[in-house]
Structure 1
Amino acid sequence: MAHSHSTQNPVIEQQRMIIPNKHGEKLVGLLHETESKEIVILCHGFRSRKDYNTMTNLAAALEIEGISVFRFDFAGNGESEGSFQYGNYYREADDLHAVIQHFSGESHVVSAILGHSKGGIEYRVTEEALMDRLRTDMHEACLKIDKECRVLTVHGSADEIISVEDALEFAKVIPNHQLHIIEGANHGYTSHQTELASSIVKFIKSALEQDKVSSK
């Protein structure tokens, strides 16, 4: 299933793809192919999907810059197989690893991973899933991020789900980190989609330029 967009921008082909994870579940995604070497992976939030407006808006913004994008549904969400689970960081990491492996070949290099949210609405939770989430030491996880890995956190000052203070705390411990706070933005960036996209595109383009300079 593929179609092309005839715009003034580079020719973009959108192709529905299925990538199996290590648990044998089929992950469904949409590839926005601009024929760039670099590709950005978009990861949706808790009980969301690849077609959430933030995901589609970010894909469109990157397309305009000629950067290929892949957005997909984690297992148990959207069109992907599997059952929905709460607090399944490790299972979602497995899904993401499968996607990265798929695109880590001669035609593409995964240049960035973008993710939105991870919770905040009503859910049915099992004891096992809750303990999995509680056992996750975020501080320790942040310290394990490679210093060569550039990290951007974008957070709304009016986020009603996750306090902006959390973003400030992450900024203290994540190496090679930039924090961009969008004044007045809520958790879904309802009225701030343009600023969200522009800040992310600016960060990615800057990182790609730095990589080109360092590789010479």
Structure 2
Amino acid sequence: MEIQHQTVFLAFGGFAMRTFKRILGLSLLTLGLFTMGAGMGAAQSQEVAIDGDHGKLSAVIQRPAGKTEYPLVIIMHGFMANKERPLLTKLADDLEKDGIASIRFDFNGQGQSEGRFQDMTVVNEIEDAKAVYAYARKLPGVTSIALAGHSQGGVVASMTAGELGTQKVKALVLMAPAAVLREDAIRGQIFGVHYDPLNPPEIIDVRDHKVGAAYVKTAQTLPIYETASQYQGPAYMIHGTGDVIAPYTYSLRYQRIYFNGKVHLIDGEDHTFSHDTDGAAKDAADFFKEILK
């Protein structure tokens, strides 16, 4: 992610300025702050490691400028992805501008997190998400927590919200939620790779990744909508009608299980919102701004 730095002009004398630079440099190295936020009113971005289901999870916290209290959104990436995807970083930046903090993180075995991709399942990604939620609740200044997820991350976000319950999750955004993953596992296919669904191999090679049999077996019986429906707070689904990976009808089904659910269908947009990534991110951020502030 390209970090936007703010230049701060201070009226220091020569010696004081040199001292200031030395202190600032040390702070950046030891605290992992990528913006000059501490005590200066600028936004803060901080890298942290969170204990997850299969080891340490790499995460980035973004906090809005000039605020000591704020709502926070946990942002979840999709299958074979990571927290630095443009859609997710843009969402975090838009939330920050709206006075909302965020944590985006890599699930186990992906991005910079520990673990093996072949051990990843939707079930242990839900455990990762709940670990990040527990971490976020302990952060000073956090007034409420919402969840957002793209693709498989949308499925994980929806099921995590269901397991945590309406009282603990303030709002939910699902971006192209890939609830198709259960049907794909039953049919024996994943990203164009076919296998015997009744006897899946221990390892399935998919686009330079190794998918484990446990992923398939757990996906085949995953109670996606049954679990997700236990959450009944504000929910917003964003989906492109041109999505051939996870058709938009899966968002329509989510809408049917949520009493407070709305769907925005984007004509012709694909699974990654590549035609207007910024627009999709802003759409999600605007929903959170309306609900959380």
- Tell me: CA distance 1:199–1:125, structure 2 relative to 1, closer, same or farther (3 Å): same
Partner Cα separation in structure 2 for residue 50 and residue 61 of structure 1: 15
Distance 1:186 1:22, change over 3 A: closer
Q: 1-side partners of 2:218 and 2:120: how far apart?
A: 6
| Alpha-carbon distance in structure 1 between the residues aligned to 2:135 and 2:144 | 10
SS at match of 1:56: helix
C-alpha separation between the residues in 2 aligned to 1:31 and 1:127?
33
Question: Which residue of the other structure, out of 36, 52, 63, is the alignment partner of 2:96?
Answer: 63
Distance 1:142 1:69, change over 3 A: closer
Q: Equivalent of 1:153, from 237, 243, 255?
A: 237
Are the structure 2 counterparts of residues 207 and 184 from structure 1 closer, same or farther at C-alpha, using a change threshold of 3 Å? same
Equivalent pair of 1:26/1:80 in contact (CA under 8 Å): yes
Aligned-pair RMSD on alpha carbons?
Answer: 2.0
Deviation of 1:133 after TM superposition, in Å, equals 0.2
The answer to which of 45-54 and 99-108 deviates more is: 99-108
User: Which residue of structure 1 aligns with residue 165 of structure 2?
Assistant: none
Tell me the distance in 2 between the aligned counterparts of 1:86 and 1:74: 11
Give the C-alpha shift of residue 19 in structure 1.
0.8
Distance 1:167 1:81, change over 3 A: same
Q: What letter is aligned with 1:68?
A: A
Conserved in 2, the CA contact under 8 Å of 1:14 and 1:31?
yes
1:27-106 aligned within 5 A = 27-34=57-64, 35=67, 36-85=69-118, 88-105=121-138, 106=140
Q: Which residue of 2 aligns with 1:3?
A: 34
> Alpha carbons of 1:110 and 1:21: their partners in 2 closer, same or farther (altered >3 Å)?
farther
Contact 1:27 1:74 in 2 (8 A): yes
Q: Alignment partner for residue 112 of structure 1, among 146, 149, 159?
A: 146
User: 2:284 matched to which residue of 1?
Assistant: 200
> What CA distance in whole angstroms lies between the structure 1 residues aligned with 2:217 and 2:223?
12
- 1:26 maps to 56
Unaligned residue ranges in structure 2 (runs of 5+): 1-31, 153-177, 179-189, 192-205
Residue 9 of structure 2 aligns with which residue? Answer: none
Q: What count of residue pairs does the alignment treat as equivalent?
A: 203
Q: Aligned to 2:236, what secondary structure does the other structure show? A: strand
Q: Report the identity percentage.
A: 26
Structure-2 change in CA distance of 1:64 and 1:114 (3 Å):
same
User: How far 1:107 moved relative to its partner?
Assistant: 2.3
Cα distance between partner residues in 2 of 1:93 and 1:77: 14
Normalised by the length of structure 1, the TM-score is: 0.86
The aligned counterpart of 2:261 is: 177
Greater Cα shift, 78-87 or 66-75: 78-87
Q: Deviations over 1:78-132 (max 9, x none)?
A: 0000111477122111111111111103421343111000266435433332110
Q: Which residue of 2 aligns with 1:212?
A: none
Report how far residue 37 of structure 1 moved.
2.1
* Counterparts of 1:159 and 1:45, CA distance in 2: 14
